[in-house]
Amino acid sequence: MSVATMRFEDGVLHLIDQRVLPLAFETVSCRNAVETADAIRSMVVRGAPAIGCAAAFGLALDAQSAAGQMRPIFDTTLDQAFAVLAASRPTAVNLFWALERMRGVWTSQSTLPSDEMAVALVREAQAIYDEDIAANRAMGAHGAALLPQEACVLTHCNAGALATAGHGTALGVIRSAVEAGKNISVIADETRPFLQGARLTAWEMVQEQIPVTLISDNMAGHMMKSGAVDAVIVGADRIAANGDVANKIGTYMVAVLAARHQIPFYVAAPLSTFDLNAADGDAIPIEERAADEVTGFRDVRWAPEGVRVANPAFDVTPAELIAAIITEQGVIARPDRNKVAAHCRAAPMNNQ
Amino acid sequence: MSVATMRFEDGVLHLIDQRVLPLAFETVSCRNAVETADAIRSMVVRGAPAIGCAAAFGLALDAQSAAGQMRPIFDTTLDQAFAVLAASRPTAVNLFWALERMRGVWTSQSTLPSDEMAVALVREAQAIYDEDIAANRAMGAHGAALLPQEACVLTHCNAGALATAGHGTALGVIRSAVEAGKNISVIADETRPFLQGARLTAWEMVQEQIPVTLISDNMAGHMMKSGAVDAVIVGADRIAANGDVANKIGTYMVAVLAARHQIPFYVAAPLSTFDLNAADGDAIPIEERAADEVTGFRDVRWAPEGVRVANPAFDVTPAELIAAIITEQGVIARPDRNKVAAHCRAAPMNNQ
For residue A214, give the nearest of B205, B217, B307 by CB distance. Answer: B307
pLDDT at A4: 87
Q: pLDDT confidence of B352, banded at 50, 70, 90?
A: very low
Cβ B202–A307 below 8 Å, yes or no?
Answer: yes
CB spacing of B307 vs A187 below 8 angstroms: no
Pick from B189, B298, B308: CB nearest A213: B308
Cβ distance of A310 and B214 shorter than 8 Å = yes
Nearest to A307 among B212, B252, B307 (CB): B212
Distance between CA atoms of residues B161 and B171, nearest Å: 7
pLDDT digits (tens, 9 = 90+) for B79-133: 999 999 999 999 999 999 999 999 999 999 989 999 999 999 999 999 999 999 9
- Return the half-sphere exposure (C-beta side, CA atoms, 13 A cut-off) of residue B286: 20
pLDDT class of A347 with cuts at 50, 70, 90? confident
Contact with chain B for residue A345, Cβ under 8 A: no
Instruction: Classify residue A304 by its DSSP letter.
Output: P
Query: B348 pLDDT band (50/70/90 cuts)?
Result: low
State the nearest Cα–Cα gap between B322 and chain A, in angstroms: 16
Q: How confident is the model at residue B4 (pLDDT cuts 50, 70, 90)?
A: confident
Q: Which of B188, B222, B304 sits opposite A203 (nearest CB)?
A: B304
Question: Which residues are paired to A248 by β-bridges?
Answer: A314
Cα–Cα distance between A248 and A48 in angstroms, integer?
Answer: 10
- Cα→Cα distances B205→A51, B24, B48, B222, B271, Å: 39, 17, 20, 22, 25
Q: What is the pLDDT of residues A93-150, one digit of tens each?
A: 999 999 999 999 999 998 999 999 999 999 999 999 999 999 999 999 999 999 999 9
Check if A256 contacts B (Cβ < 8 Å). Answer: yes
Q: Which residue of B has its CA nearest to A302?
A: B199
Of all residues in chain A, what percent carry a pLDDT higher than 90? 96
Instruction: List all residues 6 or more positions away from A72 whose beta carbon is below 8 Å from its beta carbon.
Output: none
Which chain B residues are closer than 8 Å to A25 by Cβ?
A: none
Summarize the confidence of residues A176-182 as an average pLDDT.
Answer: 98
CB–CB of A294 and B221 under 8 A? no
3-state SS assignment for residue B296: strand
Residue A206: list chain B partners with CB under 8 A: 304-307
Chain A positions in Cβ-Cβ contact with residue B308 (cut-off 8 Å): 211-214
Name the CATH code of domain A141-351 (choices 3.40.50.10470, 3.40.1410.10, 1.10.760.10, 3.40.50.300).
3.40.50.10470
- What length is written for chain B? 352
Q: Residues B216, A184: contact at Cβ < 8 Å?
A: no
Q: Do B294 and A214 touch (CB under 8 A)?
A: yes
Cα distance between residue B61 and residue B81, in whole Å? 9
Interchain proximity A253–B218, CB inside 8 Å: yes
**With contacts defined as CB-CB under 8 Å, which chain B residues touch A305?**
206
The reply to whether residue B221 touches residue A187, judged by beta carbons under 8 angstroms, is no
Tell me the residues of chain B between 90 and 119 that have a Cβ less than 8 Å away from chain A. Answer: none
Residues of A recognised as catalytic: 237
pLDDT tens for each residue of A182-213:
999 999 999 999 999 999 999 999 999 999 99
Q: Which residues in chain A are closer than 8 Å to B302, comparing Cβ atoms?
A: 22-23, 195, 198-199, 297
> For position A178, what pLDDT does the model report?
98
Q: What phi and psi values does residue A42 have, to the nearest 5 degrees?
A: -85, 5
Q: How many Å lie between the alpha carbon of A221 and the closest alpha carbon of chain B?
A: 6
- Asked if A218 lies within 8 A of B297 by C-beta distance, the reply is no
Residue to substitute from A201, A218, A256, A297, interface B, most B β-carbons within 10 A: A218
Residue window 3-62, chain A: list those with CB within 8 Å of chain B. 22-23
Q: Which among A181, A257, A178, A246 has a CA at the least distance from the CA of A219?
A: A257
Cβ within 8 Å, pair A310-B221: no
B199 phi and psi, to 5 degrees? -95, -45
For residues A28, A30, A31, A37, the Cα torsion angle rounded to the nearest 10 degrees is 160
CA angle at residue A249 from A175 to A309, to 5 degrees? 145
CATH of domain B6-136: 1.20.120.420
Q: In this predicted structure, what is the pLDDT of residue A228?
A: 98
pLDDT value, residue A348: 67
The residue ranges of DSSP E strands in B143-295, in sequence order, are: 150-155, 183-189, 212-215, 231-234, 238-240, 245-248, 265-268, 274-275
Please report the pLDDT score of residue A2 as a whole number: 62
Query: Is B330's Cβ below 8 Å from some Cβ in A?
Result: no
Element (H, E) at B27: strand B27-30
* CB pair distance less than 8 Å for A250 and B221: yes
Distance from CA of A17 to the nearest CA of B (A): 14
For chain A, say whether B191 makes contact (Cβ under 8 Å): yes
Distance from CA of A97 to the nearest CA of B (A): 26
Mean pLDDT computed over every residue of chain A? 96
pLDDT over threshold 80, residue B174: yes
Average confidence (pLDDT) over A24-45:
97
Smallest CA–CA distance, residue A313 to chain B, in Å, is: 9
Contact B203 A304 (CB under 8 A): yes
Distance from CA of A228 to the nearest CA of B (A): 11
Using pLDDT thresholds of 50, 70 and 90, give the confidence band for residue B210: very high
Checking if the pLDDT of B139 tops 90, the result is: yes
Q: Which residues of B are catalytic?
A: 237
pLDDT at B2 over 80: no
- pLDDT band for position B3 (50/70/90)? confident
For residue A158, what are the contacts with CB-CB under 8 A and spacing of at least 6? Answer: A46, A47, A171, A191, A196, A197, A199, A200, A201, A204
Those residues with Cβ within 8 angstroms of residue B350's Cβ, 6 or more apart along the chain or in another chain: B344
B244: chain A residues, CB-CB within 8 Å: none
Domain boundaries, chain A: 6-136, 141-351
A22: nearest CB among B297, B304, B309: B304
What local confidence, expressed as pLDDT, does residue B349 receive?
A: 56
Residue A285: pLDDT above 50?
yes
Q: How far apart are the first and last CA of chain A?
A: 32
Q: Which of B20, B218, B300 to probe by mutation at the A interface, max A CB count within 10 Å?
A: B218
Average pLDDT of chain B is 96
Cβ <8 Å between B217 and A298? no
Compute the nearest-CA separation of A52 from chain B (Å): 25
